[in-house]
Chains A and B, each alone.
Chain A
C-alpha cells in the first residue's frame, strides 16, 4: 500500500464522515462539524496546487495504487488515485464547492437537530465523488458513481419525516439505477470486447481495432458504438438528461446546500466527466456521439422551457442546471471535450452561487420557496441580491466578444461555436437548440431575479409560511416570529449570517473571473500543455473563423431575454399573470407531463405486473397446480377412498410415499431407457 497526499485528499473525507457518523453521540455536533469541514479544507488545500501545476504546464500525470479491489481473471480493478488534468479539474471543483457548502451549512443548518448526521453525509458524498474522479478503471468509477448516488439518496431524504422528501429520494435512486443498468452493461461489454476494465487498456484496444463488432444474439453492433451508447445511458441518469431527468427537480426536497453541492456543481456533472474521460472512445464512435449531441441539445432546450413556468425558486435553478448539463453534453457530443469540461468548471461556481444565494433568500424568508410569495427582498438582503445578480450574469453568459465577460460567457460561447463548427451528427440541431436555450435561460433567470427581489412583498407576513408550505422538518421556532410588515412593501426578511455570505463571495469571485483566467488553458493557446493527451483535442481550437452572426448570436439572445423579462416582470407584471393558465403554460408548468406518463407506465405497470406474477403466477398457477393442488387432490381422494386416515400428518406422508415411488420408478425407467 502506498500513502501520499493524493490518497489523503480522497480518504480524508471518508475518515471524517465515519468519525462524524459513528461518534456523533459522544463528541457532539460542533466537533463533528469541525472535523468534517476541516478534512475537506485539507483536501482543498492539497488539491489546488495539483491543479495549478497542470495550469502552469508543469504537472506530472501519476497513478497511486492503494490496494486491489477485485481481481478475477482479467477482470481487475485496483483502488487507485489517478492524477491528470481531468482529475485535477474535478479535484478543485469538488473540494472547493464542498468546502464552501460545509461552511455555509454551519449557518443554514444551525437550527437542525441532526447536524452531525448532515455533515457526515456531506463528507461521505465528497469522498465518493473524489473516488469517482480519481478512478483508473471502470469499476472504481462505478463505485464512486453509486456511492454519490446513495449519498444523494440519503441527503435528499435528509428530512425523513417528510413523505415527499422520502419519495424524491427513492425516485432519484431508482432513476439513477435505470441509468446504471446501461452503465453496468457498458462495463461488461467493454470487458467482453477488450478483456480489461482499465481506462487506458480499453482505449488502446479500441483504437487498435475500431472495426470490432459485438454480437448479441443475431444482431451485430460496432463494439465501440455499443459501449459508448451503453455508458451514456448511465450518464443520462446521473446527469439528469432528457428521459431520465425526472428525479432532479424532485431532488430539491433536500436541504439547499445539498442542492448546490450535489445537484448543481458536482454529482450531476459526473456524466459529463465520464463521457470526457472516455473521449478516446467517443471520438471513435460517431453514432453514439451523435446520440449524445441530440440528447444533450434536447435537454438544454426542454429544461429551459420548463424553467420558464416554475414558481419554486429552487426548481427554476434545478431546471436551469438540467439545461446547462445539456450544453455540456452536446459539447462533448460534437467532440469539444475541453469546452464541456470548461463549462462544467465555470458552471460549478455560478450554479453553486445561485443555489446558495437562493438558499440565503429561503433562509431569510423563513423557508419560503415559492417566488409568488416573494418580492421586495432586495432592500433587506442587499448582499445576497448582489451575489445573485452576479450569478445570473454568469449563468446567462453575459459578455462582449473580443473584450470579455463573466465566467459563463467563455464556456457557453465556446460550446455554441463548437456546435456550429462541427459536422457531427446533430451538431446543427444542437447549435440552434443552444442559441434558443440561451434566450430562454436569460428570460427565466431574470424572471427569477425580478420575482424574488423586485416589486412589492407578496407573502403573508403573519403566517410564516413554513407551516403553509408543509415544511414538516424540525426547523422549530426561529426567534424571528415578530416581523411587522414594513409599509414600503419590502419583505420581512433578514440578511444571512456571515458564515453563509463568505461562500457566496468566494463563488462570486469565481463566477466573475474563472472564465477569463482559465480560458487560455482549457480552450486557448495553452490547451495542449494543460490537457496533455488525456482527452482528444480538436486541433487549432479557438482559432476557427466563425461568421460574425454566430459570434454575436449568444449576446443578442441574452439581451433579448433580459428585455423580455424586464417587460413582463418589472414594467407590466400583469402580462405574466395573463399568460399563466393557458394550455402552453400548463404544458410547461407540468413539465411536459413526464411524471404523469412515467407514473402510469412504470410505477403502475410494475405494480400490476408484480401483482400478476404474485397472485396469478405464484399463487394460482404454481401453487395451485403444484403443492396445493396436489395436496387438495390427494386429500380429496384419500378422504373419499380411505376414511381410515384422519390425521393431517398421515395424509401428507401418504402423498410423499406415492410420489416417491412414482418418481423413483419413472426416473429408473428413464435412466435405463437412456442407457440403452
Chain B
C-alpha cells in the first residue's frame, strides 16, 4: 500500500480533506437557498462520508508508515513567511493520535444526527475542527503547530456557545478564557525559542535543545509557559474547572471530541515539547507535576463521587484519568511514557464512549440528571450492557483498554517514588466507587420514573456508533502489546531526549 501513496502529500490530504468537505457544504448552501430537512440530511450524509474518507486516508498514511523507523516520516515541507515553513510529518506517537482522531470523528458525526438547529453550520464547524486537530499532531513547524493548536479553540467555542445547553455562554467563555490565557504564554515562549535557536522547525528545535540546549534558567521559564498552556488543556488540577462546565453544556459530539482528542493535545505537547526541549526543567519540575497529578487523581475522583449530573461526573473522572497521563509522562521511563501514551489513546475511546452513552439517554429525555434515571436495564438491556462495559473500562478493569495505561503509569511512577504511585493507586479505589454508583443509579433497580416507561433501547444508528468502540476497548485491553510495540520507538526517543541532556 505504501507504493500507492508514495510521492503524495498524504498527511496534508488527511489534514485538509475535512476542510475540503466543509467548503463543499458552504458552496452547496450558496446554491441551495433555504434550508430544509432533506437538505440537512444530505449535509449530514456528506459530512459522514467526508469523515470516513478522512479515516480511510489516514489508514493509507498508516500503511505507508515504517513501524521500525523511529524518525519522523511522511514529511512534507513548503517554505513560508518569516522563516517558518509549512512542514508536516509524524512519528508513531503522532500518527497514533491522528488515527484516534480520524477514527472517532465519523462516530461523532453519527452522534450528531439528532442536531436540528443550523445543521450545515454545525457540520462545517465540525469538519474544520477535525482538520485543526489532525494538524496539531502532524505539524512539524512550531508556528504551524500553534496555529492549529489555537485554531481548534474557535470551532469548539462556537459549537458549545451555539449548540450547547442552558448555560452554554458561561461555559463557552470559561473554556475560551482558560485555554487562551495559557496559550498566550506559550506564544511568547515560542517566539523566544525561535529567536534563540534560529529555526521554527520542530525536529530542528529538538536537535538544538539536545545539542546546544536552552539555558537552564531560561528553560525553567519556557517550561512554565508551555506548561501553562498544556496544563489547562489536559486539564490538570487546579486549572481543571472549565472542563466540567464545558462538557455539561456541550452537545454530545462536542463532548466526545473534547474529552477524546482536545485533552490529548496537552499530553502530546508535554511529550513533543516539554520533555525533549526542556529536559532540565522537566527534571526540575518532576515532583511538581507528580504532586499536581496525584492531587488531580484523588481530588477529581472524590468530587466525581458527589456529582448529580452524569456529564459532570464523567468530566471529573476524565480529570482523574489525565492525572495518570501526566504522572506517567514525567516519570520519564519506558513504562511511564508508554503507559501515558496508551492511557491517552484508551481514554479517548472510553471517555468518548461514555459521553455517547450519556448522549443516548439525553437525546431521549433531555436531562442529564442522575436522579431522573434508574432501572434503565429493564427497558434498555442492550444499552445497559454497553454502558456496563465502558463503566468497567473507566474503572480500569484488566481486559479492557483502561487497565494497561493505569498500571504502566503507576509502575513508571513507582520507580521514581513509591509514595506517588501509592497515592495514585488510591484513585483506582475511588474510581470503582463513583463509576459503579453512577451505574447503579442510572441503570439498575426498577423504573420509578413514569417518564421512562416507554424509553427505547439502542437503535441501529447508535449501535453502529458503539460497535467500533467496543471492539477497540476489548482488543486494546486484551492485546495491548501491539499498540505498545508500535508506540515504543517514539517513547524510547523521548526517553533518551529526556534523560540524555537532562542533568
Contacts and interface: CB of A to CB of B under 8 A. Distances in A.
A and B pair up: yes
Interface of A: 67-73, 75, 139, 142-143, 146-147, 150, 153, 157, 160-161, 163, 166-167, 169-170, 173-174, 177-178, 180-181, 184-185, 187-189, 191-192, 214, 216-217, 472, 606-607, 609-611, 613-614, 617-619, 622-623, 626-627, 630-631, 648, 652, 655-656, 659-660, 663-664, 667-668, 670-671, 674-675
B218 A675 contact: yes
The B contact surface, by secondary structure, is: helix
30 contacts: A70-B404, A72-B339, A73-B335, A73-B338, A75-B335, A146-B397, A160-B444, A163-B445, A166-B440, A173-B432, A173-B436, A181-B428, A181-B429, A192-B411, A192-B414, A192-B418, A214-B418, A216-B418, A609-B302, A610-B305, A611-B306, A613-B299, A617-B299, A626-B238, A627-B177, A659-B181, A660-B180, A660-B184, A671-B222, A671-B225
A71 B436 CA distance: 30
Top 5 closest pairs, chain A to chain B, by CB: A216-B418, A610-B302, A610-B306, A188-B414, A143-B398
Contacts, number: 201
B57 interface: no
A623 B178 CA distance: 11
B415 interface: yes
B399 A607 contact: no
B463 to A, nearest CB: 13
Given A139-B398, A142-B407, A178-B429, 15 more contacts: A70-B404, A70-B480, A75-B335, A170-B440, A174-B433, A177-B428, A177-B433, A185-B418, A188-B410, A610-B302, A617-B299, A619-B241, A627-B178, A667-B188, A671-B222
A222 to B, nearest CB: 14
A73 B417 CA distance: 19
Contacts of A185: 414, 418, 421-422, 425
B285 interface: no
A69 B218 contact: no
Contact of B484 (A67, A72, A613): A72
Interface string B219-249: 0111001000000000000111110000000
A607 B305 contact: yes
A654 to B, nearest CB: 12
Contacts of B221: 667, 670-671, 674
Of the listed residues B178, B377, B444, B445, the one surrounded by the most CB atoms of chain A closer than 10 A to its CB is B444
Contact of A161 (B189, B302, B303, B445): B445
A674 B215 contact: yes
A72 B177 contact: no
B23 interface: no
Contacts of A161: 375, 378, 444-446
A413 to B, nearest CB: 39
Given A69-B481, A610-B305, A626 B399 contact: no
Contacts of A75: 334-335, 408, 411
B403 to A, nearest CB: 8
Contact of A622 (B241, B375, B399): B241
Contacts of A191: 411, 414
Interface string B160-178: 0000000001000110111
A144 to B, nearest CB: 8
Contacts of B268: none
A453 to B, nearest CB: 36
Interface of B: 169, 173-174, 176-178, 180-181, 184-185, 187-189, 192, 215, 217-218, 220-222, 225, 238-242, 299, 302-307, 333-335, 338-339, 375, 377-378, 392, 397-399, 403-404, 407-408, 410-411, 414-415, 417-419, 421-422, 425-426, 428-430, 432-433, 436-437, 440, 443-446, 478-481, 484-485, 488
Contacts of B176: 652, 656
B203 to A, nearest CB: 23
Nearest to B181: A659
B303 A184 contact: no
Contacts of B443: 160
A626 to B, nearest CB: 7
Contacts of B404: 70
Contact of A648 (B169, B217, B398): B169
Contacts of B446: 161, 472
Contacts of B433: 170, 174, 177, 606
A524 to B, nearest CB: 38
A177 to B, nearest CB: 4
A589 B197 CA distance: 75
Nearest to B382: A25
A144 B239 CA distance: 38
B188 A671 contact: yes
A153 to B, nearest CB: 8
A69 B398 CA distance: 11
Contact of A627 (B242, B378, B410): B242
A250 to B, nearest CB: 14
Nearest to A161: B446
B415 to A, nearest CB: 6
Given A72-B338, A610-B306, A674-B217, A174 B432 contact: yes
A69 B480 contact: yes
Nearest to B244: A618
B447 to A, nearest CB: 10
A174 to B, nearest CB: 5
B452 to A, nearest CB: 14
Contacts of B425: 181, 184-185
Chain B CB within 10 Å, residue with most, of A71, A146, A613, A626:
A613
Nearest to B187: A664
A147 B192 CA distance: 52
B177 A652 contact: yes
A192 B185 CA distance: 38
Nearest to B339: A72
A121 B242 CA distance: 40
B218 A671 contact: yes
B411 A177 contact: no
B288 to A, nearest CB: 17
A267 B236 CA distance: 39
A157 to B, nearest CB: 7
B241 A656 contact: no
B398 A147 contact: yes
